[in-house]
Amino acid sequence: MLGGDSLPVLIVVIDGLSDRPVNGKTPLSVANTPNLDKMAEMGINGIMDTIAPGIRPGSDTSHLALLGYDPFKYYTGRGPIEAAGVGIEVKPGDIAFRVNFATVEGEGSIFDKTVVDRRAGRIQDTEELIKAIRENVKLPVEFLIEKGTGHRAALVLRGEGLSHEITDTDPKEVGKKVKQCKALSEDAAWTAEIVNEFMQKAHEVLENHPMNAEREKKGLPKANALLLRGAGVMPHIPSFEEKFGLKLAVIAATALIKGVGSIVGGDIITPEGATGNRNTDIGAKIRAAKEAIEKYDVVLLHFKATDELGHDKDFEGKKEFIERLDRHISELLGINIAKNCLIITADHSTPVKVGEHTADPVPVVILHEDVRTDEVRKFSEFEAYKGGLCRIRGMDLLNIALDLLNIAKKFGA
């Protein structure tokens, strides 16, 4: 391990786990979670504002914070992180976008046409379409495009004089026309022109592609347009090894979380069966985490389904996934907390009542032989605030763990 005498930290992030009460209850508070409750009993508990009180975190900004990076300093937009997550080697100065394959209808240029399906029927097999764009679209700058999950992709523009200070082309609603990209500063005018040129040329390639003719024959929506959003410039960000002198692994299937790990120089592990949704192989991910803590100083293990179910406003589904996760997480009770620091938490709240991320603080428990255990006996939003950890920020979490392991550097004389 790069940390010399350091001992491993395992951070388990249950995405969007916590909630606001519905009739006085949350999925977590009513779920049968004997193993998470045992962890609450063994550790020190508290609540955490991943970014800051009242700030609604994105999954990208919150994970940066959990890994010890100030998102206000390093976050420029979701595009670069998404691009890194699909395997593009994003370089400082690159402008990156999140991409949807979509269906548009109408006459004229792409900007005269109306979006009728933002996901092109949730198309999955976009490889041939992406290949055609690569081969037939020519721009005055280099571009890279890679497939993401399902209808998603990522785009990177690379060249001199580019700016991320531009608007999206995704109207974010069906029934609206595709938006022209506009510059938000004088320096961004040329970039906006390039984006609009790419939009039109990609549309022409897709509209005339044999695969879309075949889809139309089958009554499927044509994937005849790309919608761009989340433009950001790849920041100059120190690697995790440079920042902490420690080796990082991120175990995830979700492109965004893999992207966060990639841009800070972590190794990405996606076990077979890990899907980034409710059907994921929980056991495979936990086994991968137990193996990883033998090789890495810090391991972040991510589960996505609770966030997905929160967005779907599915109270029972979220409760059931938490219970399923709890049955598997029992394997982590065997970890030697004299040797390891185990943390269970969330990156933000996704209440089923709201269906979106909120700034409500999330529960957190830290297990290590040196923690001052408290009176909390259940892992839930209603109990965690009673714990000895009190209320912390996401950026505090790794520092607390490193201090418990006696490898934190002293500030001052």
pLDDT digits (tens, 9 = 90+) for 89-108: 998 889 999 999 999 999 99
If asked whether residues 67 and 131 sit together in one domain, one would say no
Confidence check: pLDDT of 170 > 90: yes
Radius of gyration of the chain (CA): 22
Last residue of a domain, one of 182, 208, 233: 233
Side chain identity, residue 263: I
If asked whether residues 255 and 176 sit together in one domain, one would say no
If asked whether residues 372 and 225 sit together in one domain, one would say no
Judge whether 78 and 256 are in contact, CB under 8 Å. yes
Contacts (Cβ under 8 Å, ≥6 apart) of 125: none
If asked whether residues 213 and 296 sit together in one domain, one would say no
| Digit-coded pLDDT (tens) for 334-362 | 999 988 999 999 999 999 999 999 999 99
- The pLDDT value given to residue 276: 85
If asked whether residues 62 and 104 sit together in one domain, one would say no
If asked whether residues 65 and 147 sit together in one domain, one would say no
Against a cut of 0.85, is the pTM above it? yes
Last residue of a domain, one of 233, 261, 291: 233
Buried b (16+ CB within 10 A) or exposed e, 32-68: ebebbbbbbbbbbbbbbbbbeeeeebbbbbbbbbbbb
Confidence check: pLDDT of 1 > 60: no
- The pLDDT value given to residue 2: 47
Q: Is residue 180 part of a domain?
A: yes
Confidence check: pLDDT of 3 > 50: no
If asked whether residues 254 and 369 sit together in one domain, one would say yes
Into how many domains does the chain fold?
Answer: 2
Q: Is residue 109 part of a domain?
A: yes
CATH number at residue 348: 3.40.720.10
Q: Is residue 411 part of a domain?
A: no
Average pLDDT, rounded, for the chain: 94
- The pLDDT value given to residue 165: 95
Q: Which domain holds residue 257?
A: 9-75+237-404
Confidence of residue 4 (pLDDT cuts 50, 70, 90): very low
The fraction of the chain above a pLDDT of 90, given in percent, is 87
Q: Is residue 410 part of a domain?
A: no
Strand order in the sheet with 248-251: 267-269, 248-251, 298-303, 9-14, 341-345, 362-367, 44-49, 390-393
Half-sphere exposure of 247 (CA within 13 A, CB side): 16
If asked whether residues 320 and 351 sit together in one domain, one would say yes
| Digit-coded pLDDT (tens) for 5-59 | 557 999 999 999 999 999 999 999 999 999 999 999 999 999 999 999 999 999 9
- The pLDDT value given to residue 35: 98
If asked whether residues 145 and 289 sit together in one domain, one would say no
Confidence check: pLDDT of 234 > 90: no
If asked whether residues 225 and 244 sit together in one domain, one would say no
Last residue of a domain, one of 193, 211, 233: 233
Enter the tokens of residue 378. Answer: 């259940």
The fraction of the chain above a pLDDT of 70, given in percent, is 99
Q: Is residue 284 part of a domain?
A: yes
Confidence of residue 316 (pLDDT cuts 50, 70, 90): very high
Contacts (Cβ under 8 Å, ≥6 apart) of 226: 99, 100, 101, 102, 133, 153, 155, 199, 202, 203, 206
If asked whether residues 205 and 276 sit together in one domain, one would say no
- The pLDDT value given to residue 255: 87
